[in-house]
Amino acid sequence: MSVTVLPYLVAGWIFLIGVYGLVTSRNLIHAVGCLAVTQSSTYVLLLAVGYRNGGTAPVFSDAPTDSRVVDPVVQALALTDIVVGATVTALLLALVLQLRKRHGTVDPDALSELKG
Protein backbone atom coordinates (compact mmCIF):
# COMPACT_ATOMS: atom_id res chain seq x y z
CA MET A 1 0.00 0.00 0.00
CA SER A 2 1.70 3.19 -1.16
CA VAL A 3 0.56 6.51 0.21
CA THR A 4 1.20 9.59 -1.86
CA VAL A 5 1.63 12.96 -0.22
CA LEU A 6 0.75 14.98 -3.33
CA PRO A 7 -2.92 15.63 -2.41
CA TYR A 8 -1.88 16.76 1.07
CA LEU A 9 0.72 19.11 -0.41
CA VAL A 10 -1.86 20.49 -2.84
CA ALA A 11 -4.32 21.05 0.03
CA GLY A 12 -1.61 22.83 2.03
CA TRP A 13 -0.63 24.96 -0.97
CA ILE A 14 -4.25 26.00 -1.62
CA PHE A 15 -4.65 26.82 2.08
CA LEU A 16 -1.51 28.96 2.13
CA ILE A 17 -2.52 30.82 -1.04
CA GLY A 18 -5.91 31.62 0.50
CA VAL A 19 -4.40 32.76 3.79
CA TYR A 20 -1.87 34.94 1.94
CA GLY A 21 -4.75 36.55 0.04
CA LEU A 22 -6.62 37.15 3.30
CA VAL A 23 -3.60 38.79 4.93
CA THR A 24 -2.80 41.05 1.98
CA SER A 25 -6.37 41.95 1.01
CA ARG A 26 -7.36 45.61 0.87
CA ASN A 27 -10.93 44.84 -0.14
CA LEU A 28 -13.54 42.93 1.83
CA ILE A 29 -14.98 41.25 -1.28
CA HIS A 30 -11.49 40.01 -2.15
CA ALA A 31 -11.10 38.77 1.44
CA VAL A 32 -14.34 36.78 1.18
CA GLY A 33 -13.10 35.21 -2.06
CA CYS A 34 -9.78 34.32 -0.42
CA LEU A 35 -11.65 32.76 2.48
CA ALA A 36 -13.57 30.62 -0.02
CA VAL A 37 -10.26 29.54 -1.58
CA THR A 38 -8.90 28.71 1.87
CA GLN A 39 -11.94 26.60 2.63
CA SER A 40 -11.65 24.77 -0.69
CA SER A 41 -8.41 23.26 0.57
CA THR A 42 -10.52 21.18 2.95
CA TYR A 43 -12.29 19.61 -0.05
CA VAL A 44 -8.98 18.36 -1.38
CA LEU A 45 -7.95 17.17 2.07
CA LEU A 46 -11.18 15.25 2.62
CA LEU A 47 -11.01 13.62 -0.79
CA ALA A 48 -7.39 12.64 -0.16
CA VAL A 49 -8.33 11.02 3.14
CA GLY A 50 -11.20 9.03 1.59
CA TYR A 51 -9.36 7.89 -1.53
CA ARG A 52 -8.61 4.20 -2.00
CA ASN A 53 -6.45 2.99 -4.83
CA GLY A 54 -8.59 0.80 -7.08
CA GLY A 55 -11.74 1.60 -5.10
CA THR A 56 -15.15 1.94 -6.69
CA ALA A 57 -18.27 3.81 -5.72
CA PRO A 58 -19.91 2.42 -2.57
CA VAL A 59 -22.90 0.97 -4.42
CA PHE A 60 -23.18 -2.76 -3.77
CA SER A 61 -26.11 -3.55 -6.04
CA ASP A 62 -23.85 -4.42 -8.97
CA ALA A 63 -20.53 -5.21 -7.23
CA PRO A 64 -19.50 -8.10 -5.01
CA THR A 65 -19.56 -7.32 -1.31
CA ASP A 66 -15.84 -8.02 -0.92
CA SER A 67 -14.71 -5.39 -3.48
CA ARG A 68 -12.70 -2.31 -2.49
CA VAL A 69 -14.86 0.78 -2.18
CA VAL A 70 -14.12 4.35 -1.18
CA ASP A 71 -15.38 5.67 2.14
CA PRO A 72 -18.88 7.16 1.71
CA VAL A 73 -18.67 9.09 4.99
CA VAL A 74 -15.80 11.19 3.66
CA GLN A 75 -17.77 11.89 0.49
CA ALA A 76 -20.74 13.01 2.57
CA LEU A 77 -18.47 15.26 4.64
CA ALA A 78 -17.05 16.82 1.47
CA LEU A 79 -20.54 17.56 0.17
CA THR A 80 -21.53 19.04 3.52
CA ASP A 81 -18.37 21.14 3.49
CA ILE A 82 -19.27 22.50 0.04
CA VAL A 83 -22.77 23.47 1.19
CA VAL A 84 -21.49 25.12 4.36
CA GLY A 85 -18.81 26.97 2.37
CA ALA A 86 -21.36 28.32 -0.10
CA THR A 87 -23.61 29.43 2.76
CA VAL A 88 -20.81 31.18 4.63
CA THR A 89 -19.65 32.90 1.45
CA ALA A 90 -23.17 34.13 0.67
CA LEU A 91 -23.64 35.42 4.22
CA LEU A 92 -20.31 37.25 4.22
CA LEU A 93 -20.99 38.81 0.83
CA ALA A 94 -24.39 40.01 2.09
CA LEU A 95 -22.66 41.58 5.10
CA VAL A 96 -20.09 43.26 2.86
CA LEU A 97 -22.93 44.61 0.72
CA GLN A 98 -24.58 46.11 3.80
CA LEU A 99 -21.27 47.66 4.88
CA ARG A 100 -20.93 49.21 1.43
CA LYS A 101 -24.44 50.63 1.65
CA ARG A 102 -23.96 52.09 5.14
CA HIS A 103 -20.36 53.28 4.99
CA GLY A 104 -19.70 53.70 1.26
CA THR A 105 -16.54 51.59 1.17
CA VAL A 106 -15.30 48.02 1.30
CA ASP A 107 -11.78 48.98 2.42
CA PRO A 108 -11.25 47.63 5.96
CA ASP A 109 -8.93 50.52 6.90
CA ALA A 110 -11.52 53.12 5.85
CA LEU A 111 -14.12 51.71 8.22
CA SER A 112 -13.02 53.88 11.14
CA GLU A 113 -16.52 53.90 12.69
CA LEU A 114 -16.18 50.20 13.48
CA LYS A 115 -13.00 50.59 15.53
CA GLY A 116 -13.45 50.17 19.26
Please write the tens of the pLDDT for every residue from 20-45.
999 999 999 999 999 999 999 999 99
Please give the share of the chain, as a percent, with pLDDT higher than 70: 90
Most confident of 55-59, 65-69, 105-109: 105-109
Has residue 11 got a pLDDT over 70? Answer: yes
Amino acid 85: pLDDT? 94
| Mean pLDDT confidence for 76-101 | 94
Cβ atoms of 93 and 31 within 8 Å: the answer is no
CA atoms within 13 A on the CB side of 66: 0
Residues contacting 109, CB < 8 A, separation 6+:
26
Number of H helices, E strands in the chain: 3, 0
Percent of the chain at pLDDT > 90 equals 57
* Torsion angles phi and psi, residue 22, rounded to 5: -65, -40
Q: What is the DSSP letter of 69?
A: B
Residues 6+ apart with CB under 8 A from 37: 14, 17, 18, 21
Compute the average pLDDT of residues 56-68: 71
The per-residue pLDDT for 114 is 62
pTM for the whole structure: 0.81
